[in-house]
Structure 1
Amino acid sequence: MDPLTTALKVAGSGLHAESSRLRVVSENIANANSTGDTPGADPYARKTIAFQSTVDRATQAALVGIKDIDTDKAAFVQKFDPSHPAADPDGYVKLPNVNPIVEMADMREANRSYQANLQVLKQARELISMTIDLMRAR
């Protein structure tokens, strides 16, 4: 395969990985205040995503893929609120282990990586188009 097609494949794998990362971050932000349904129940657990490098056999290009989407093992925050429906017998409510500031920073980083991969796709497409135009001119 030619280098431009390889660049398209690599950037495409990056777009897929970063869009998955953005989905996980948005789920975490959306559930940052989701407590359990019953007294003492666990709240929403923050999700994490891990990437892995894979090699495309046809092009020998290093692509990025999703290795795993898992839950964060960090402890839940406990808040004293005996009037809350999810409060345990001692009056404590378990809150999600989601830190919105961390999630926003992760979202910003994923967004920038997505934009960088998109720019590679646009540039490769433009170079392919220029090559086709040169071949027509002959």
Structure 2
Amino acid sequence: MNDLTQTLAVSASAMKAQSTRLRYISENIANTDTPGFRRKMTSFEQVKEGGEVSGKIQTGGVRLDRTDLPQVFDPSHPMADETGYYEGSNVEMLIEMSDARQAQRSYEANIKMFDQARKMASSLLELLRR
């Protein structure tokens, strides 16, 4: 039974991590046209419990994409300099959409794993009741 509860905990941690990743992706998409906005990224880290790897994951800290911001020519923009340029956002919609799709699929896979472990635990408890 302990293995099944560990599987539930691993799946839940993965769903939480993918949820956090999706939040950053949605913030990036919302700020695509915000001048000077840098894309937010996160990484996944293994959780150690008692000095051993538990199988669970968590998100690391937020990192900003350090690629150069594109120079946008629009002399009428309030942030434009004397040459008519301002710094745009380095968010690429194609990258954000593919990252969102990958996070969604990973989330769905973890939901299926969680549900399967829950069904197995329920079946085991039903057998023990007999």
- Shared topology, TM-score over 0.5? yes
> Residues 62 and 46 (structure 1 numbering): CA distance in 2 closer, same or farther, change over 3 Å?
same
Give the structure 2 partner of residue 136 of structure 1. 129
Give CA-to-partner distance per residue, 1:37-75, whole Å, 9 cap, x none: xxxxxx111101111112233995221111211111011
> Residues 98 and 4 (structure 1 numbering): CA distance in 2 closer, same or farther, change over 3 Å?
same
Identity of aligned residues (%): 38
Question: How far apart are 1:132 and its partner, in Å?
Answer: 1.3
SS at match of 2:47: strand
Once superposed, what is the RMSD of the aligned Cα atoms? Answer: 1.7
Give the structure 2 partner of residue 38 of structure 1. none
Range with greater deviation from structure 2 (107-116 or 63-72): 63-72
Question: For 1:52-63, what aligned pairs fall within 5 Å after superposition?
Answer: 52-57=45-50, 61-63=54-56
Give the structure 2 partner of residue 92 of structure 1. 85
Q: Normalising to structure 1: TM-score of the pair?
A: 0.88
CA contact (8 A) 1:56 1:62 kept: no
CA contact (8 A) 2:75 2:83 kept: yes
Q: Normalising to structure 2: TM-score of the pair?
A: 0.93
Q: Provide the C-alpha distance between the structure 2 equivalents of 1:50 and 1:125, rounded to a whole number of angstroms.
A: 28
Give the structure 1 partner of residue 30 of structure 2. 30
SS at match of 1:61: strand
What one-letter code is carried by the residue in structure 2 that aligns with 1:18?
A: Q
In structure 2, list runs of 5 or more residues that go unmatched.
none
- The aligned length equals 130
In structure 1, list runs of 5 or more residues that go unmatched.
36-42
